[in-house]
A and B are shown apart, each in its own frame.
Chain A
Amino acid sequence: MSSAQLPSVRDLPLRVLPVAWLARGSLGGRGSRHLVERHARVYRHTWLVLLSGFFEPLFYLLSIGVGLGKLVGTVTGPSGPVSYTSFVAPALLATSSMNGAVFDSTFNVFFRLKYNKFYDAALATPMRAGDIALGEISWALLRGGLYGAAFMIVMLAMRLVHSPWAVLGLPSALLIGFAFAATGMAATTYMRSWQHFEFVMLAALPMFLFSTTFYPLSVYPRAIQIVVECTPLYQGVALLRGLTLGAVGPALLWHVAYLAVMGLLGLYVASLRIGRLLLK
């Protein structure tokens, strides 16, 4: 097949998004880097805060994976029986990618939108609403990437990685972060008060507990299985678990597509809404 026959990127699944809008760069461009630079500079002053994001999933891994794992022994993973620690570890990586992204893109963004006029100052410069949305999400990913890399190293050291496919684990963790950061930011633009963040917790906590994080999908009756299979965190858990345990097949691409579309839609809505909220 010649390259001329290949569908261009524009014709691919991104059809759901207005293509002209994407091509114009309204999703944000160079300006987003400056926002990342700003956040990095702030964290130079408060670098200790950065550490907490690394220890949280590590503590979960040690208490549930190792501690509970002693009692459970082995479970049936996607590629057959594996140690409980190996089963739980990729799910904890997926969860921490989600939590980090949601925290960065909801609480922080809400505060900047409502209280300290942070975005108003940036929008008086050549920066655009899309630059701000993309900048915030990029920063969330950069942080998430650092945590993800550190966690992957711990997994390697503890011999919890069972396949060379795991090299795709970090990009996958970033994809999960992107999906949740973009969606979280889009949702934040609709929030009016801090009380609305209860909804964020209401969505994130059950996903953490029930998206096959701690046991396989097979424990559920079929009806519940379908519900779980529709949640975004399940996509992330299944993707990372498949990669680290070596159960790789075309099904994983479905998870990738789900998360990518979720992220792009979130970014689109977030850019649009920030523009509407601030440029009135």
Chain B
Amino acid sequence: MPDPEVLIRAKDLTKRFGDFTAVDGIDFELRRGEAFGFLGPNGAGKSSTMRMIGCVSPRSGGELSILGMDPVADGPAIRARLGVVPQEDTLDVELTVRENLLIYGRYFGLPRNVISERTDQLLEFVQLTDRGADQVEPLSGGLKRRLTIARSLINEPEILLLDEPTTGLDPQARHVVWDRLFRLKQRGVTLVLTTHYMDEAEQLCDRLVVMDGGRIAAAGSPRELIEQYSTAEVLELRFDPGEHEQAAEKLADLRAQRTEVLADRILLYIPNGDIALTAVRDLGLVPLTSLVRRSTLEDVFLRLTGRQLED
């Protein structure tokens, strides 16, 4: 008996483009009301996965069930209940802000009066009420993204798909988008998002999978992942480039749980950063800068793949 609270179920889901395998047999389940994330670098297969969930890309193999239906057979019926915020803005530049919502709502077959009522609420929600009659093109990236989010909500979707929702936005605009998404989550909207920003994943996701090379490297809540794959604290050390390698060798004596030697920094994974820093100084090493911080998903990713998330 399938669990009605499971909205999306993927088993061995695969996407191939010719010889290239973009998504290589992944399994996941999405439950009603949760915010679920795909975290990974560019090319990890996140967007391909999102397109399959959005029923605009047929799977090459495996199983995929969305809202209890098969995307191949019931694409339009599933899409009627999804909201989509694509990675690149696909707003209609020949229409005004309000008309964008009107026409998009019409694509869902909604009556005009219903759309008009929802448009008022949605423009208020994304703080664009006074821009309703404006053309879309002159809007800033942040405003366009907010409009895209409003547009994606016109059909009151059960699942909202967000592909890299804040990529390309300045920090302030990102925080506004995060705030709106957080409010949606509080209202019980089920969110699925892809991101290569670990702070975005940490702020928004209840549960996430780390993707790399088309596969799922790990799954869990941000906290579980950090506990499982990293230490409580991280000590970041920066040395004079001439002493970098020498220092790295000496630091091995500290027997940290894990040491990552990056091009510009050395990361020590330890339970307590301050104690470790004292130990470093006791070794006679003088770092140019030192930073004690909590572990993040970035560290999880580094541990799992040996690479950094953001290049």
Contacts and interface: CB of A to CB of B under 8 A. Distances in A.
B20 interface: no
A280 B57 contact: yes
Interface string A77-107: 0000000000000000000000000000000
A41 B75 CA distance: 27
Interface string B12-40: 00000100000000000000000000000
Chain A interface, >50% SS class: helix
Given A126-B80, A128-B75, 17 more contacts: A34-B109, A38-B95, A41-B103, A42-B94, A42-B95, A116-B93, A117-B86, A118-B92, A121-B86, A121-B90, A125-B79, A125-B80, A125-B108, A125-B155, A126-B76, A280-B17, A280-B57
B80 to A, nearest CB: 5
B139 interface: no
Nearest to A124: B84
Interface in B160-185: none
Interface in B50-109: 54, 56-58, 75-77, 79-80, 82, 84, 86, 88-95, 99, 102-104, 106-109
Nearest to A35: B107
Nearest to A278: B56
B107 to A, nearest CB: 4
Contacts of A204: none
A146 to B, nearest CB: 20
Given A126-B76, A126-B80, A128-B76, A118 B90 contact: yes
Interface string A142-182: 00000000000000000000000000000000000000000
A124 B56 contact: yes
Contacts of B108: 125-126
A118 to B, nearest CB: 7
Given A126-B76, A126-B80, A38 B106 contact: yes
B71 to A, nearest CB: 11
A113 B95 CA distance: 18
A120 B106 CA distance: 16
A279 B107 contact: no
B107 A127 contact: yes
Contact of A34 (B56, B95, B103): B103
Nearest to A41: B99
Interface of B: 17, 54, 56-58, 75-77, 79-80, 82, 84, 86, 88-95, 99, 102-104, 106-109, 155
Contacts of B86: 117, 120-121, 124
Contacts of A207: none
A45 B107 contact: no
A127 B155 CA distance: 13
13 contacts: A30-B109, A37-B103, A38-B106, A41-B103, A118-B92, A120-B90, A121-B90, A121-B92, A123-B56, A124-B79, A124-B90, A127-B76, A279-B58
Interface of A: 30-31, 34, 37-38, 41-42, 45, 116-118, 120-128, 278-280
Contacts of B88: 117
B109 A126 contact: yes
A51 to B, nearest CB: 18
Contacts of A280: 17, 57
Contacts of B106: 34, 37-38
Given A30-B109, A126-B108, A45 B94 contact: yes
Contacts of B99: 41
A279 B54 contact: no
A60 B33 CA distance: 64
Nearest to B15: A280
A37 B99 CA distance: 11
A118 B95 CA distance: 12
Contacts of A116: 90, 93
B90 A117 contact: yes
A117 B93 CA distance: 11
A41 B99 CA distance: 8
A31 B92 contact: no
B90 A279 contact: no
A113 to B, nearest CB: 13
A121 B104 contact: yes
B275 to A, nearest CB: 52
B103 A38 contact: yes
A279 B56 contact: yes
A122 B17 CA distance: 23
Contact of A125 (B57, B102, B107): B107
B234 to A, nearest CB: 40
Contacts of B82: 124
A280 B56 CA distance: 7
B190 to A, nearest CB: 17
A126 B79 contact: yes
A206 B109 CA distance: 43
